[in-house]
């Protein structure tokens, strides 16, 4: 049995029910809105929607953000299996999770992510799934960085021949300098990203999403313009 691939509800250790409240809110958003793109994962996904880059790059593509801080693979799996991708037909689902699975091995984390991909495809067989590599973490070189590197290498291999799935590698060199350090200018706490850090991962992510949608967003300093290459009006969907 792989605990990282067994769907599980987050234990309400604080007694405020926040995790389940977020899940229920996401269920309502799925019913009320018609997203083209759904982001799902942990705090690295959740915090993205509070950055200007979300409004500039992703809102014009009719995106929903189903990120919850501290989620592990088994928690995201439960959310997928319990309705968060129901009542919608997105064209793209973006997944980023795994950095919080501290107690699980590399193989278990990879298995958990692959199980989520299978669950997404079971719910939304028409959707293209973009699996993001896990970013490096920690100011200085550490064992977690090596574990993350191995996870990303395994995911790239395991997903390369899987239909309707793209692995978007997060190159450690985007964040780690020649001295092996990560600057707080990219990750303010050496895990969660600043505006500059998000810019580094979101530019290639946006390019991938645009290619899949064939809808392109022109990002300027004062405005954002969406142009549909398929000649379709996206409408007021999200």
Q: Which two tokens stand for residue 122?
A: 């079971």
Q: Which of 12, 185, 189, 228 is catalytic?
A: 189
Cα separation of 6 and 73, whole Å?
9
Cα separation of 116 and 121, whole Å?
9
Cα separation values, 83 from 38, 76, 78, 87, 156, Å: 13, 11, 9, 8, 28
Q: Which of 53, 65, 147, 54 is nearest to 99 (CA)?
A: 147
Segment holding 65, helix H or strand E? strand 63-67
Q: Is 192 a catalytic residue?
A: yes
Residue 193 half-sphere exposure toward CB, CA atoms < 13 A: 25
Q: Is 105 a catalytic residue?
A: no
Residues 6+ apart with CB under 8 A from 89: 34, 124, 126, 127
Residues 6+ apart with CB under 8 A from 69: 42, 43, 46, 47
Q: Which of 23, 42, 43, 186 is catalytic?
A: 43
DSSP assignments along 137-161, one per residue:
-SSS--HHHHHHHHHHHHHHHHHTT
Q: What positions carry a catalytic annotation?
A: 43, 189, 192
């Amino acid at each position: 049995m792989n605990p990282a691939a067994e769907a599980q509800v987050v234990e309400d250790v604080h007694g405020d029910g926040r995790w389940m409240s977020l899940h229920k809110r996401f269920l309502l958003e799925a019913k009320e809105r018609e997203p083209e793109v759904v982001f799902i994962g942990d705090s690295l996904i959740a915090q993205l929607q509070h950055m200007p880059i979300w409004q500039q790059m992703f809102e014009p593509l009719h995106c929903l953000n189903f990120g919850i801080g501290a989620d592990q693979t088994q928690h995201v799996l439960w959310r997928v299996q319990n309705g968060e991708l129901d009542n919608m037909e997105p064209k793209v689902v973006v997944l980023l999770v795994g950095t919080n699975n501290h107690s699980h091995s590399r193989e278990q984390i990879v298995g958990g992510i692959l199980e989520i991909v299978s669950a997404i495809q079971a719910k939304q067989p028409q959707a293209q799934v973009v699996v993001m590599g896990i970013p490096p973490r920690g100011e200085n070189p550490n064992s977690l960085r090596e574990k993350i590197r191995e996870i990303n290498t395994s995911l790239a291999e395991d997903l390369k021949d899987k239909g309707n799935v793209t692995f978007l590698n997060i190159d450690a060199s985007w964040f780690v300098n020649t001295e092996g350090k990560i600057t707080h200018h990219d990750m303010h706490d050496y895990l969660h990203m600043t505006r500059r850090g998000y810019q580094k991962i979101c530019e290639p992510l946006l390019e991938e999403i645009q290619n899949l949608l064939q809808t392109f967003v022109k990002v300027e300093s004062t405005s954002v313009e969406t142009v549909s290459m398929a000649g379709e009006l996206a409408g007021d969907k999200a």
